Amino acid sequence: MALTQFRVYDFNEAYDEFDMGRAKRLGKGGFGKVYLVKHKKTGAWWAAKYQNNSARKVREMHEAEAKFLNALQHDRKKRYIPSLYKYYEKGIHTLLINQYLRGGELFEKINDNTFKLTEDKIIIYTKQMVKALVFIHESRIVHMDIKPQNVMLCDRDSDEIKIIDFGLAKQLTWMRDKQGREFYGAKTGFSGTIGFMAPEVLKCTEATEASDFFSLGAVVFMLVTGGHEPFWEKDDHTGIKNTMKADPWRHFKNRRLNVSEHARDFVSQLLTKHRERRLCGKKCLEHDWIRSDLKHASRYEVDKRGIRSYLVRQRWKKLYKGVVFALKIQKAIGGDLLSRSSGGYDRVDGNSRTRVFETMKTVHIPIKLSY
């Protein structure tokens, strides 16, 4: 992985180059916030990922993400990865500015009532995701967090996708297993998103290229089934257990799916528990489903209700995290950040669950539950 041209810029320079006073917040993640900023000279819009954290490890992760993006900029056509502008740093403040993807998340586009999801469309998206992972892995990088939220569209009217968020990415190095076999891998802890993490990552052993393709398999499974997750069910504990042991098709044994057997076979090979037997890399592009030129693809429309349910659940997760954070602040300062409801007193302690709807009103957390 070539990092020779990577440079850290002074944080104050970002204010000289961009109109920070009119920055618009696009979203919030586990380690920071993303803003839409305008370049003063060119007028171009960029996405700025800001992080303010006193923890040294978190700042190092943000810088590492910038380094990985920098290492992937050698693709002149920028087909699979967002363009990196610059990375800024000062004290506990870090700012990573890269390409603004106007199209938003792939699943959000699919969820639109006017969008018809068919197998031929899924093949188009899948082929791009496979090529993106092959490109990333050729640079000896493993992404570690392939999931629907990290698959974005360049423009609203385009089907061109890009893979984002390299915050958990790792460098692949030459390793040797217990049998003495050599392979490219990375030591890993419990890293990623439950429901999309490969079994070997859940075991905290080594991640390989195959680990990303398992995660891709979970995403493609959701596309061909209309949003049903292959492993996550009820809670994270069940999701982990299912990933290790359960058949991803267990709920579809006696249910008709509007996709071909070629699609099911492709997904099944990606979701193989043992990474040595898992379909990955350029071999994916040789599978009958991918190279069929849509001859074997079903022309039926896929029922998208599962995707809608998944997106709503993700919004509620973000809401709940915001509520928990607000409660922690209230407990720390000993004040009334959250007002009591008229129906009684909501006790604040480590194990309590407050009335969510009352909390939504008091902390003004927006959530859209439209279908």
Per DSSP, the three-state class of 151 is strand
Q: Is 122 exposed, middle or buried (0-12, 13-18, 19+ CB in 10 A)?
A: buried
Tell me what the pLDDT averaged over the chain comes to: 85
pLDDT band at 183 (very low <50, low <70, confident <90, very high): confident
* 296-351 tens-digit pLDDT: 566 778 989 999 889 988 888 777 766 766 666 666 666 555 444 444 434 444 44
**Residue range(s) in the chain whose domain bears CATH number 3.30.200.20:** 8-99
How many whole angstroms separate alpha carbon 211 and alpha carbon 198? 5
Range from 106-115, 234-243, 331-340 carrying the lowest mean pLDDT: 331-340
What's the order of all strands across the beta sheet hosting 104-105? 104-105, 151-153, 161-163
**DSSP letter assigned to residue 258:** S
Name the H helices within the chain: 11-17, 56-71, 106-111, 119-138, 199-202, 209-225, 236-245, 261-270, 305-333, 356-363
pLDDT of residue 115: 94
Q: Are 142 and 169 in contact (CB under 8 A)?
A: yes
pLDDT at residue 47 is higher than 70: yes
How many whole angstroms separate alpha carbon 154 and alpha carbon 147? 17
How many whole angstroms separate alpha carbon 263 and alpha carbon 274? 20
pLDDT of residue 294: 61
pLDDT of residue 321: 67
**Residue range(s) in the chain whose domain bears CATH number 1.10.510.10:** 104-303
256 or 360, which is more confident?
A: 256
What fold, for 104-303?
A: Transferase(Phosphotransferase); domain 1 (1.10.510)
Q: Are 265 and 221 in contact (CB under 8 A)?
A: no
Q: Tokens in use for 227? A: 């949003």
pLDDT of residue 165: 93
pLDDT at residue 257 is higher than 50: yes
* Contacts of 293 by beta carbon, 8 Å cutoff, 6+ apart: none
* Contacts of 294 by beta carbon, 8 Å cutoff, 6+ apart: 119, 120, 123
pLDDT at residue 357 is higher than 70: no
pLDDT at residue 356 is higher than 50: no
pLDDT of residue 352: 43
Per DSSP, the three-state class of 307 is helix
Instruction: Compute and round to an integer the Cα radius of gyration of the chain.
Output: 22
How many whole angstroms separate alpha carbon 136 and alpha carbon 90? 29
How many whole angstroms separate alpha carbon 172 and alpha carbon 175? 9
Q: Is 133 exposed, middle or buried (0-12, 13-18, 19+ CB in 10 A)?
A: buried
pLDDT of residue 176: 84
Identity (one letter) of the amino acid at 317?
A: K
pLDDT band at 32 (very low <50, low <70, confident <90, very high): confident
pLDDT band at 56 (very low <50, low <70, confident <90, very high): confident
164 or 297, which is more confident?
A: 164
Per DSSP, the three-state class of 356 is helix
Q: Is 33 exposed, middle or buried (0-12, 13-18, 19+ CB in 10 A)?
A: middle
For domain 8-99, is the CATH number 3.40.50.300? no
**DSSP letter assigned to residue 275:** G
Residue from 252, 211, 245, 207 nearest 229 by CA: 252
28 or 198, which is more confident?
A: 198
pLDDT of residue 289: 93
